Structure 1
Amino acid sequence: MPELPMPAIKRHGKHMFAAIEYAGLLLVLMATVVAAAQEVRSMMHNASVSVTDLLLLFIYLEIVTMSSVYWHTGRLPVRMPLYVAMVALARHMMLDSTKLTSLDILAEAGAILLLGVAVLLVRYGHTRYPYLDENGHSRTIS
């Protein structure tokens, strides 16, 4: 069996990892669409829509948006998972409000506040210290 030169191995490796990455991205996207459809079906079956249902749909929408951005740019903006975490914590507080102690509620509210501050810091960092491409031009990734 002839030996492959290193550039060929690197090229094939990059293609293999890209294929795995896109397959995983499609899997996440399909699972998100199925979960959102199940949630809508559940809301229709119950003939009611609650705020927690809407927050869950927003989480699904944000995951679809993350997938879209990642598909088009090859990069995942840091802010998007932070938004998902903020909405998920708010939803958890609403769902389990009767089970949470006052300290739990304060801790979760503090976590949401910290995530909000993180979003602001990331936004500030991207405007103050933008990413540069190979030519030294500013790129926006938020």
Structure 2
Amino acid sequence: MKINWADTLRENVHGLAESLGNLLVESFHYLALFAIGGITAWAAVVAFLGMVEKGHITVDDILLLFIYLELGAMVGIYFKTNHMPVRFLIYVAITALTRLLISDVSHHHRPDLGVVYVSGAILLLALAILVVRFASSRFPSVQSDGPHRRHLRRDEVVEEEA
């Protein structure tokens, strides 16, 4: 004999626990995003003020500001879409390696094997972006429509913002 009130109570408790869990996870998610965004903006302002105080700006400094810009864009995109744009992480890595390469060449004035290694790493990261872009256009993933998700049809393509 099935006890109807017990099943109903179990379903209600399960629904309450799921709702409460979602609330806590989303609250932490937004709090962490605001903290990361704030820290990124603060670090960019401090770096900029250091450049102004120094009295001149180098290419290293400009590339550092681009890194902060990409990190801020990542936070903004993740806040809006709940998807981590892996391409932006690769862009940050390419910018950081380019900054390292320019700094190394401008300060040491000697070409060595390290320049080749860093250039090769930049090339590999550029190829990784090509693979990610191709894969995301050829094999689109799940698109989020608010709290509910829907699966894309095989012939449906989501255009990414560059």
When the two structures are superposed, what TM-score results if normalisation uses the length of structure 1?
Answer: 0.87
- Distance (Å, rounded) in 2 between the aligned partners of 1:111 and 1:39: 26
Q: Are 1:117 and 2:127 an aligned pair?
A: yes
Distance 1:129 1:111 in 2: 26
Question: Kindly tell me: are residues 34 and 42 of structure 1, through their superposed partners in 2, closer, same or farther at Cα, counting changes over 3 Å?
Answer: same
Match of 2:6 in 1: none
Structure 2 residue 52 is matched with structure 1 residue 44: yes
The two structures, once aligned, show a CA RMSD in angstroms of 2.2
The total of aligned residue pairs comes to: 140
Which deviations, in whole Å up to 9, do the C-alpha atoms of 1:70-126 show, x marking residues without a partner? 011011111000000000111122223329872222111111111000000111111
1:136 Cα deviation (Å)? 3.0
1:77–1:141 contact (8 Å) kept in structure 2: no
Q: So what's the TM-score if we normalise by structure 2? A: 0.77
Larger Rg: 2
Where structure 2 has 5 or more consecutive residues not aligned to the other structure, the ranges are: 1-9, 144-149
CA deviations on 1:23-65 (whole Å, 9 max, x unpaired) are 1111111111111111111111111111000000000000110
Write out aligned runs for 1:59-138 (5 A). 59-97=67-105, 98=108, 102-133=112-143, 134=150, 136-137=152-153, 138=156
Q: 1:132: Cα distance to partner? A: 4.7
Q: Which residue of 2 aligns with 1:55?
A: 63
1:13 to 1:41, Cα distance in 2 relative to 1, 3 A: same
Q: Which amino acid aligns with 1:55?
A: L
Question: Cα 1:135–1:104, aligned 2, differ >3 Å: closer, same or farther?
Answer: closer
Instruction: Go from structure 1 to structure 2 and tell me whether the alpha carbon gap of 1:75 and 1:135 turns closer, same or farther (over 3 Å shift).
Output: closer
Q: CA distance change for structure 1 residues 20 and 100 in 2, over 3 Å: closer, same or farther?
A: farther
Letter in 2 for 1:117: L
Deviation, structure 1 residue 135 = 5.3
| Equivalent in the alignment of 1:7 | 15
Report the AA paired with residue 96 of structure 2.
Answer: A
Relative contact order: is structure 1 or structure 2 higher (C-alpha 8 Å, sep ≥ 6)? 1
